[in-house]
Amino acid sequence: MINVLGKTDTEIKNDVLSELKYDPSLKVTEIGVLVTDGVVTLNGYTTSFDEKLAAVHAVKRVAGVLAIADDIELHIPDANHRTDGEIAAAAAHKIEWSTTIPKGTVEITVRNGWIILEGEVEWWYQKNAAETVTRSISGVHGVSNSISIKSTDKIPAVGMDIEAAIDRNAMLDASKIRVEIVGSKVILHGTVRTLAQREEAERIAWAAQGVFSVEDHLAVKWYTSGD
């Protein structure tokens, strides 16, 4: 592994700008970047909620970023403005057409361009799919995913399955992550090297059958291969 313990805020900022520029879906000239002690603040504006999320995800991939403050404003062009009713109808159709989301499990409310998703599903990937298909709708200002996952009396013995999934994942160092199971809750302990790795570990934990909640105590910490 590359020793990046000495990476400066200026170097992180340059890497963030390069990553934003590298992503073809983003207009880097409209996004500002500030870095203080490894914490990246994004400002400026994007023209869609999906583009705003893409900028945040791009920064998560950059080495040395410890946290992100998202101050990007959303400037939706007049041609893309939609009423709450139009957004709600589009969201309902997107969810109805999805082969991943069980029919009749998701309730949709739209207020001032913001989509609120509620309901109950059996799996995290179904909850995630509902958010993914709705956030790209033209005119959307944001999505609040309040869909719950059905609780179970007992969680299957998935600790070893989660650990095995982490071990075979090319993004993660399994030796730095410990999985704890408490009831139907998964608790992640240890360290990762990027925010994107932390997000990936959470995804793996949520993907296990019977998981009702995930507590992420993973710290973003830079280390060399000898640590």
Above 80 in pLDDT, residue 172?
yes
Residue 156 confidence (pLDDT) above 80:
no
CATH of the domain spanning 9-74 = 3.30.1340.30
Mean pLDDT, rounded, for 202-211: 87
Q: Return d(Cα 109, Cα 184) in angstroms, integer.
A: 29
Angle, vertex CA 74, rays to CA 25 and CA 137, nearest 5: 65
Q: How far apart are CA 152 and CA 70, in angstroms?
A: 35
pLDDT at 98: 94
Residue 101 · residue 126 · CB < 8 Å: yes
Instruction: Determine the longest span between alpha carbons in the chain, in angstroms.
Output: 57
* Domain 80-149 classification at class level: alpha beta
CATH 3.30.1340.30 domain span(s) along the chain: 9-74, 80-149, 159-220
Listing DSSP states for 99-160 in one string gives SSSPTT-EEEEEETTEEEEEEEES-HHHHHHHHHHHHTSTT--EEEE--EE---SS--S-HH
Q: Cα(46)–Cα(28) distance, rounded to whole angstroms?
A: 9
Tens digits of residue pLDDT in 94-132: 999 999 999 999 999 999 999 999 999 988 899 999 999
Residue 98: how many CB atoms within 10 A of its CB?
A: 17
Question: Where does 159-220 sit in CATH, by number?
Answer: 3.30.1340.30
Output the pTM of the full model: 0.77
pLDDT higher than 60, residue 4: no
Most confident of 64-68, 113-117, 189-193: 113-117
Predicted pLDDT at 2: 38
Distance CA 148, CA 31 (A): 34
CB 137 within 8 A of CB 87: yes
Question: What is the predicted pLDDT for the residue at 96?
Answer: 95
